[in-house]
Amino acid sequence: MTRKPTLHFIDRSSRVRAELARTAFDLGHHAEVYGDLEELSLLPPREGIIVARDDADRGGVAAVIEQLARMGIWLPLVVFDHQPGAGRIVEAIRAGALDYLSLPLDTEKFARCMLRIEDEAGAYCERRKREIEARNLLANLSRREGEVLDLLAQGSSNKTIARELAISPRTVEIHRANMMSKLGARHPADAVRLRIDAQAGKKES
């Protein structure tokens, strides 16, 4: 029998954490509980699914995903809250959450959610890791280097880029070489692929 993924519950309420863990145990999952992301960071998990409260006062899902990325955690994220409005749910999904659950948990719905996400987990983790790493690399580019990459991704030649940016072709070559070096790209296609990876999450949302 295949072992079910570990569920990592994050919530400030010890009562809610206990209820969530009990539901997970009943469904055959191992559960770990944390009061907040700081506690999670003490021993960052490398497998499983993170289930966290959508805390708007602390930046919501976008802030959670950003903090997880800084910890090098790419695990799937499911969020929950009491009677979330449609706007909150849409915002959370756009930010990168894979599902939004209402408290108290509906056990059958929760089980279906975990089963679906378990099937998607491997691909999600790899995609998310590439996306964040690509964004971090692109953040090192200067404005001009970023413009050169954008035009390169459109298939523009050095001469066309020079004309678009009103600079000399030789200057384009310098910016292009610097851009490739910062991205660790050996070929232009590698740089373009990083740009695509960095924008993957935005397109999905």
Whose tokens are 């397109």? That residue is 203
Residues 60 and 106 reside in one and the same domain: yes
Report pTM: 0.70
85: domain CATH number? 3.40.50.2300
Alpha helices for the chain (secondary structure H): 14-26, 37-41, 60-70, 86-95, 107-138, 143-153, 158-165, 169-183, 188-204
| Predicted confidence pLDDT, tens digits, the chain (205 residues) | 568 899 999 999 999 999 999 999 999 999 999 999 999 999 999 899 999 999 887 888 989 988 998 888 889 999 999 989 999 999 999 888 999 999 999 999 999 999 888 877 767 777 777 888 888 899 999 999 999 999 999 999 999 999 999 999 999 999 999 999 999 999 999 999 999 888 765 544 4
- Residue linked to tokens 């691909």: 123
What pLDDT does 202 receive? 53
Domain span at 101: 7-125
Residues 148, 101 share a domain: no
Q: Which two tokens stand for residue 60?
A: 């919501």
Q: Which of 78, 94, 125 is the last residue of a domain?
A: 125
Kindly state whether residue 131 falls inside one of the protein's structural domains: no
Based on the structure, what is the number of domains in the chain?
2
Same domain, yes or no: 26 and 108: yes
140: its two tokens: 């090192």
Residue 133's pLDDT is 84
Residue 134 maps to a domain: no
52 touches 79 (CB < 8 A): yes
Residues 17 and 69 in one domain: yes
Domain at 197, CATH number = 1.10.10.10
- Same structural domain, 18 and 98: yes
